[in-house]
Each structure stands twice: as structure tokens, then as C-alpha cells.
Amino acid sequence: MPESYEFLTKQLNATVLNKYNILGDGMPAALFPILSGKTEFELPDAKKRVPGSGFMDETQFIFHRVKKIGYQAAYFEDLLRVYSGTYQYRFNGFRRQPADHYLSHLLREDQSNEFCFGGAPRFQFMMNLTEQFFELPGKHFIFTLISDITHNDINYLHNADKPLVEVLERLEKQGTFQNTLLIVMGDHGSRIKRFRYTYQAKLEERLPFMAIRLPDKLKAAKPIAQKALQGNVDVLTTAHDIHATILDIVGLKKYLNPYKVKGADLPRAMSLIRKVPRNRSCSEAGIEPHWCTCLRWEELAPADSMYERAARAVVNHINHITKSMRYKDDAKCINDIHSHLKQYCYCNS
């Protein structure tokens, strides 16, 4: 989306975080910390497969927090046809709608077309609703998640490039960004098709796009806030920090999660309008080694003890796959093993 990127960075002077690192696999891992300040494993269990588990209502999302101080909250999400929703696919969802304005039931009424709602592209419908939300009186908090044009094929994304610019242009001309925090982000990079097995995809999955534009009034009143945000461009940051930043800006610092990883000197969540130490590590930020982009890969020599252990682990894993299956066709056996192992490695063939 080159036009959107150009408008965000040049016209709106948004700050792009170069080392914004994911915390886990898939959309829930990306959104739970932003919207609640915690991972799904730190919250009351609401998984469908767990007997007697509760609903997502038991989690204090940021929608609930801001409503207490007079904000109207909106949560717009598409792609219900594919996975029912971020908090409905693996989870029990909500008994009561989580925000004042919630699209779930409306979008479920029209599933006849993969990319359209009524006579308009669904992404355009979502953008229009987002823009219209700011016409309501009072203070606004909105989270809009558009996935349908990227979930199965990234090649459709360019269709939303110019429409997004047009929405941002209108909001800017209306003075919306005088007192509005704008965040434009992706939840993770490409996770499907053969591209995922490349090293580039490994990086893209772990380093999704994250751009933040502070309100003009905040930058004028506290120039140090913009200076700190700019200083954090090349510092390791996560979704926990986004949650902390939002709470800091809207005046809800009392809800900041003070959790520290065992042995860490820094809290896991740090507001990005304050300086984040450049030597922050993945472990301090709550990023597991598998998802840490800062890891340095080293090639093991055959004499290294881990060399043989790794080889044995692969062989044992293959034996485990084939033990429960009786193959008459060697080619099918090899293909199945190859497909299964590709889930765990990033290779070209």
C-alpha cells in the first residue's frame, strides 16, 4: 500500500516502529495484549474446548475501561465467514456486545459474497463506518479490523490503498487528528502458501507494520512525548507497549499492567511516549525465543553435541508420524512427511 504509507509517513508524520515484534502465533496473540494488557493465558479461560469455561465478558478489555470515562466505544471486525471472529473462533465469544457499536451480528446477516457487503466492498464499508463514527458527539474509541482482502491472498490488498488515503485525508481536513491518537497496524505477516517458508516471511510474520500518530494537541502540550516515541523507533517493542501507550494518553495509567518477567529489571509493558531502554531484551518484553527476531542463528559443527541430538529429534519425530499410519505407497509417505515437517521449518524445498 505505497500511497497509504506515503500519506501516513509524509503528510501525517506518523512514526513507524521498525522493531515491533509479535508475541505469538496468529491474531489472538496480536490482539489480546493490545486490547487487554495481558496474553490469553493470563486471562480467565474462555476456550470452547475447555468444559465449563466462561465468556470473554470476564476479561476487562480496553473498551470497558474507556467507557467509564465517557468514551463511546466501537469494535468493527470482518471475515466472520472464515473464523467467526477473533474471540469466537477458539473462544466462547461475548454474552453481551463488548462495545457500544459492534458489527458482529450485522455482518453475519450478509455472507453471500466473499468480499462485499451489500453493493460495496466490505473493506470500504468498514472504512466508511469508521469515518462516520467520528461524526457522533463526545469522545470516541474505535478498533477496526479489516482482514478479508488479506487473509487468504495478499494480492487483493492494493485495492484498499487509495480508499484508505481518502479516508485519512478527509479526517485530517476535518481536524480529527488534532485530538485523536491514530494507530495503523497489521497483526502479522503472510502466514500461508509457499512464501511462508522463506526467511523473508519469517521476518515479516514477526515484524508486522505498526505506525503511530500522536494527537496534535498532545504534541504541542508535551513535545517530549513525540521525541520519546521517535526515539523508540528502533527499540524492541510489543503489543503490551501499545496497550500501555493508549492508557497513558487517555489518562488511564491506573490500569497499566505492572507485571515483570521473572528476573527482569523492566516492566513488560512500557508506554511508548516515554523512553524505552535500547538494550531491552526479548525475555524482558515477554517474547518467547521462537518469536524473537533478535535471535542470532548459528550453524552447528558436526562435532557439537547438539548436532546429533537435533538429528535424533528429527528422526524420532518422523518415526512418530509414520508409526500411526500404514503406507503402501512410499511416495505418499515421503510427501506427507515433507508437508508435516514444513510446519516447523523455513526452507525453500
pLDDT along the chain (349 residues), means of 10: 95 96 90 93 88 86 93 86 72 89 76 72 89 94 87 77 95 95 88 74 89 97 97 97 97 94 93 95 92 81 86 83 65 65 43
Verify that 319 and 258 share a domain, yes or no. Answer: no
pLDDT at 114: 67
Q: Give the C-alpha distances (Å, rounded to integers) separating 101 from 11, 41, 96, 199.
A: 30, 27, 12, 40
Is 300 within a domain? no
Q: For residues 334, 339, 343 and 347, what is the CA-based torsion angle, rounded to 10 degrees?
A: 80
Verify that 95 and 242 share a domain, yes or no. Answer: yes
Verify that 78 and 148 share a domain, yes or no. Answer: yes
pLDDT at 324: 63
Verify that 186 and 320 share a domain, yes or no. Answer: no
| H-run or E-run covering 16 | strand 15-16
Q: Which structural domain, as residue segments, surrounds residue 283?
A: 2-291
Is 160 within a domain? yes
Verify that 327 and 285 share a domain, yes or no. Answer: no
Verify that 156 and 73 share a domain, yes or no. Answer: yes
Verify that 200 and 335 share a domain, yes or no. Answer: no
pLDDT at 191: 64
Is 346 within a domain? no
CB atoms within 10 A of CB 327: 12
pLDDT at 215: 97
Verify that 256 and 317 share a domain, yes or no. Answer: no
Q: Determine if the pTM surpasses 0.95.
A: no
- Contacting residues for 214 by C-beta, under 8 A, at least 6 apart: 15, 181, 225, 226, 229, 249, 273
Is 299 within a domain? no
Domain with residue 25: its CATH number is 3.40.720.10
pLDDT at 245: 98
Task: Select from 262, 219, 256 the least CA-distant residue to 36.
Answer: 256
Verify that 267 and 313 share a domain, yes or no. Answer: no
Verify that 185 and 316 share a domain, yes or no. Answer: no
Verify that 17 and 150 share a domain, yes or no. Answer: yes
**Where is the domain boundary, 249, 267, 291?**
291
Is 347 within a domain? no
pLDDT at 336: 66
Helix axes 305-323, 330-341, angle to 10 degrees: 120
Is 257 within a domain? yes
Q: Over the stretch 24-70, which tens digit does the pLDDT of each residue have?
A: 988 889 999 999 999 999 998 888 888 888 888 888 899 999 999 99
Is 177 within a domain? yes
pLDDT at 177: 96
Task: Select from 139, 132, 26 the least CA-distant residue to 83.
Answer: 26
pLDDT at 337: 65
pLDDT at 305: 86
Adjacent-strand bridge partners of 74: 101, 142
What is the number of domains present in the chain? Answer: 2
pLDDT at 348: 35
Is 298 within a domain? no
Verify that 218 and 244 share a domain, yes or no. Answer: yes
